[in-house]
């Protein structure tokens, strides 16, 4: 059943437009985007799709198929919590720049896993803004869509996120890495390392950015930058400079500086082995310096790193649960994923393979 058919069944009328956006997985550059740094994400096959039409009354009517959750409210009421806060946040940021958004019927369906660190929220924001751009004939380019999505998440969902997730949802594809300078927004599409493909496994450990240490990590980085006398940690390239910072600011800053350097090093490296080694170093830094990993993630990464034909593996996303990404030999992702998942399950955890999307092959 298509989302258009679902919309018809829910609202007893056909949608007037529909838009989608992908989730993303980040191979290198974790927790660097809100430090004005460098990132290397790529889009994943899973998408969020938003169907839209005008409401017949003075209220918004939103429905999430995956959550089986309704929301009905007027433009003057407080933003509800949950998925509605992201959607209504997109409406509010459009209104702030002068656009009028009438009451809407909106239907959301998504195959992007929630709570796995694959940017389900950014996919929802970008899909919503693309749908509104189409429905209301707005003059917005893809970078503006990403910026508005970021502001919706910061202002209305309470997550002090960087720009990476929304830029990836708006501009990335599944065949390339998106190198992005999050300060200038300079970007370019790069090929994956030769003879390699991506494997993503959900650890089965959910997490919520708004209630996790994510905002705390951002504050720690801002304080470290202030003490170092720079606008952002992106402006420091030598990790030895952080030695005189107090704990844990020294380790937080060291991770960001080294992670930015790893992304820039990856641009010069075409081999899968060299790229994988950078991923392994990234996970160790996220585990020990940034302290955003958890035992289940560490176990899953360890199993991946020890498996033949795996070049490198690390947690992806903000951490505190979620998914791991691995760079593996071409044509081996499915078999490696099944073997690692079996071993992971025997240690008491329950994960699942997300990429390749076995439901789509």
Active site positions, annotated? 165
Contacts of 164 (CB under 8 A, 6+ apart): 24, 26, 29, 33, 39, 41, 180, 182
Report the alpha-carbon distance of residue 292 to residue 173 in Å, rounded.
27
Contact between residue 152 and residue 89 where contact means Cβ atoms under 8 Å apart: yes
Which CA distances in Å does 158 have to 68, 90, 100?
23, 13, 24
The residue assigned the tokens 């980085």 is 221
Report the alpha-carbon distance of residue 305 to residue 172 in Å, rounded.
27
Largest CA distance in the chain: 64
Q: Which residues pair with 104 in a beta bridge?
A: 54
Report the alpha-carbon distance of residue 44 to residue 38 in Å, rounded.
20
Report the alpha-carbon distance of residue 323 to residue 328 in Å, rounded.
16
Which CA distances in Å does 316 have to 55, 93, 243, 293, 301?
39, 28, 27, 10, 10
Helices 333-346, 295-305: inter-axial angle, 10-degree rounding: 130
CA 262 vs. chain centroid, Å, equals: 19
Helix (H, G, I), strand (E, B) or coil at 26: strand
The residue assigned the tokens 């990464």 is 301
Contact between residue 46 and residue 22 where contact means Cβ atoms under 8 Å apart: yes
Contact between residue 50 and residue 20 where contact means Cβ atoms under 8 Å apart: yes
Q: Read off the tokens for 231.
A: 């606008």
Report the alpha-carbon distance of residue 279 to residue 283 in Å, rounded.
6
CA 147 vs. chain centroid, Å, equals: 14
Output the CA torsion sign for 188, 185, 256, 159. Answer: negative
């Amino acid at each position: 059943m298509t989302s258009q058919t679902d919309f018809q069944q829910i609202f007893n009328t056909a949608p007037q437009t529909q838009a989608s956006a992908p989730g993303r997985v980040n191979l290198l550059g974790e927790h660097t985007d809100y430090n004005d740094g460098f990132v290397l994400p790529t889009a994943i096959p899973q998408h969020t799709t938003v169907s839209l039409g005008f409401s017949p009354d003075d209220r918004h009517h939103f429905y999430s198929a995956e959550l089986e959750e309704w929301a009905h409210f007027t433009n003057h009421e407080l933003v509800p919590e949950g998925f509605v806060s992201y959607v209504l946040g997109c409406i509010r940021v459009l209104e702030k720049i002068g656009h009028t958004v009438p009451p809407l019927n909106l239907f959301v369906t998504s195959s992007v896993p929630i709570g796995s660190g694959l940017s389900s929220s950014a996919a929802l924001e970008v899909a919503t803004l693309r749908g509104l751009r189409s429905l209301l004939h707005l003059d917005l380019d893809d970078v503006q869509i990403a910026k508005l999505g970021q502001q919706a998440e910061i202002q209305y969902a309470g997550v002090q996120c960087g720009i990476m997730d929304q830029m990836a949802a708006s501009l990335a594809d599944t065949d390339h890495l998106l190198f992005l300078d999050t300060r200038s927004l300079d970007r370019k599409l790069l090929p994956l390392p030769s003879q390699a493909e991506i494997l993503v496994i959900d650890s089965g450990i959910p997490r919520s950015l708004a209630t996790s240490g994510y905002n705390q990590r951002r504050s720690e980085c801002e304080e470290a930058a202030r003490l170092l006398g720079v606008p952002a940690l992106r402006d420091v390239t030598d990790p030895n400079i952080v030695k005189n910072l107090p704990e844990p600011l020294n380790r937080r800053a060291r991770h960001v500086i080294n992670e930015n350097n790893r992304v820039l090093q990856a641009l010069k490296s075409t081999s899968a082995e060299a790229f994988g080694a950078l991923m392994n170093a990234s996970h160790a830094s996220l585990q020990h310096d940034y302290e955003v990993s958890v035992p289940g993630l560490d176990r899953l990464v360890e199993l991946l790193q020890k498996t033949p034909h795996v070049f490198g593996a690390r947690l992806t996303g903000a951490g505190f649960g979620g998914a791991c990404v691995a760079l593996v030999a071409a044509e081996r992702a499915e078999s490696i994923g099944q073997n690692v998942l079996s071993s992971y399950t025997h240690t008491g955890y329950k994960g699942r393979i997300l990429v390749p999307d076995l439901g789509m092959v």
